[in-house]
Amino acid sequence: MQPDFHPLAGIRVVEMTHMIMGPSCGMFLGMLGAEVIKVEPPEGDKTRNLTGMGRPFFPLFNRGKKSVQLDLKSNDGRQALDALLASADVFVDNFRDASLARMGADPDDLRRRFPGLVLASHKGFLSGPYQDRTALDEVVQMMTGLAYMTGPTGRPLRVGSSANDIMGGLFGAFAVVAALLERNRTGVGRSLRVGLFENCLLLVAQHMVQFELEGVDPPPMPERTFSWPVYDIFDTADGKQMFVGAVTEGQWAALCGFLGLSGLLADPNLQTRMDQIDARDRTIPVVAAAIARRRSTDLSREFEALGIPYSPIAKPSDMYFDPHVMRPGGLVSSRTAEGDAFRAPSLPIDVDGAMINAGGDVPALGADTSRVLGDLGFDADTIRKARGAAKKTA
């Protein structure tokens, strides 16, 4: 049974965002029970129309939100935004401050007019020399050394997802929850700024600190000096690939015993973990040959039983068939604004022993405009003017 876990119920979030970083912050807050109202221009968030690898951006990160359509170039639209913000607890954005000011949402002005509001701005950089630079996930991966560490020498490579954007949104949500807790005591909100660059900096901190402590730059991950006897990708007899690790003396003994490598177990020069690490040039080919004689299903079964770290090399689409992902709560079903069904992960936490059903459908453009603004006292004619040239009606 999925737990009823909505700790942010009763919290209203007004969100003016696009792409991933800001929308993911709103998504996380919504998954915790907040009411998230996404303010969109008359033509809608441009992310709605992306194709290819960008197609999932809008439906994935805007699940469970409400859509209010406002023309912020008009006085009616700005008055409606003011009323929305006056009713809100949190304002989430990821636009430049100058753009926000043109839309009637200048951060300094909001701080003055709505002292109880928590402002969560998602930017490329925190305050400092780079604060006005344009940033993208790929840009900060190149700047911080993450791309250098991911690809081989001379071939910097971004990681295979929008990891910084998503993690930046998570830090935004984390900071919002903390600011709301503080507001319970003080009655005053905070101005929060989340930096994509600083987020990525934290991801490479382990490599920075290695340099700090040892005085040498660590090599890129594909060329790293191994700290474990076995920590590699191997080919199997059925033409698949599998990562296998043996990082303790017990795992080394279990792996060699299962694979029938009694010679390695008996070798007097392989009796300590450092011996095994130093001898990788001659032991890994032996292990690889033994694994290549076995099928992946047999290897998985035995490795599971022996407690040996392993994993098949999976594609993202394989996750729809993974038994752990398919357990109750692992995937949440949603529908796009056009009615297409899709499944996506929920929050990666258990609450009282079960995952929560946190997701929701994707709102059509402006689907909640009339209801939300009507609740704030606006009449139908004023709402029509405030939303501008609507493509869809609510």
Predicted pLDDT of residue 393: 44
What lies within 8 Å, CB to CB, of 242 at 6+ separation is 233, 234, 236, 291, 296, 299, 300, 310, 311, 312, 313
* Residue 82 pLDDT > 50: yes
User: What one-character DSSP code corresponds to residue 363?
Assistant: P
Count CB neighbours of 139 within 10 A.
18
* Residue that the structure tokens 């990525």 belong to: 200
Bridging pattern class, strands 35-40 and 66-69: parallel
Compute the distance between CA of residue 183 and CA of residue 288 in angstroms, rounded to an integer: 58
What lies within 8 Å, CB to CB, of 216 at 6+ separation is 210
Among the listed residues 165, 217, 368, 375, the single catalytic one is 165
Helices 163-186/137-144 angle, 10° precision:
100
pLDDT band at 227 (very low <50, low <70, confident <90, very high): confident
| Domain span(s) for CATH 3.40.50.10540 in the chain | 12-204+328-387
* Residue 392 pLDDT > 70: no
- The encoded tokens of residue 73 equal 């170039």
Q: Based on the residue annotation, tell me whether 165 is a catalytic residue of this protein.
A: yes
Residue 121's alpha-carbon distances to 22, 133, 326, in angstroms, are 8, 15, 35
Bridging pattern class, strands 310-312 and 241-246: antiparallel
Report the pLDDT averaged over residues 333-337.
96
Contacts 24+ apart (CB under 8 A), 299-305: 299/236, 299/242, 299/244, 300/242, 302/258, 303/244, 303/258
pLDDT tens by residue, 171-188: 999 999 999 999 999 999
**Cβ atoms of 147 and 156 closer than 8 Å:** yes
Predicted pLDDT of residue 115: 97
* Residue 340 pLDDT > 50: yes
Bridging pattern class, strands 66-69 and 12-16: unpaired
pLDDT tens by residue, 14-56: 999 999 999 999 999 999 999 999 999 999 999 999 999 999 9
Four-point Cα dihedral 166, 167, 168, 172, nearest 10 = 100
| Domain span(s) for CATH 3.30.1540.10 in the chain | 226-315
Count CB neighbours of 389 within 10 A.
9
Compute the distance between CA of residue 196 and CA of residue 193 in angstroms, rounded to an integer: 10
* Residue 272 pLDDT > 80: yes
* Residue 391 pLDDT > 60: no
pLDDT band at 390 (very low <50, low <70, confident <90, very high): low
Fold classification of 12-204+328-387 (topology level): Rossmann fold (3.40.50)
Report the pLDDT averaged over residues 360-368.
97
pLDDT tens by residue, 228-260: 999 999 999 999 999 999 999 999 999 999 999
Nearest 5 degrees, angle CA 95-CA 101-CA 31?
A: 40
What lies within 8 Å, CB to CB, of 124 at 6+ separation is 130, 133, 134, 135, 136, 139, 140, 195, 196, 197
The sign of the dihedral angle between the CA atoms of 119, 115, 69, 386 is negative
Residue type, 21: M
* Residue 211 pLDDT > 90: yes
Report the pLDDT averaged over residues 386-394.
67
* Residue 394 pLDDT > 90: no
Mean pLDDT of the chain: 95
At the fourth CATH level, the homologous superfamily of domain 226-315 is: formyl-coa transferase, domain 3 (3.30.1540.10)
pLDDT tens by residue, 294-329: 999 999 999 999 999 999 999 999 999 999 999 988
Helices 137-144/196-203 angle, 10° precision:
50
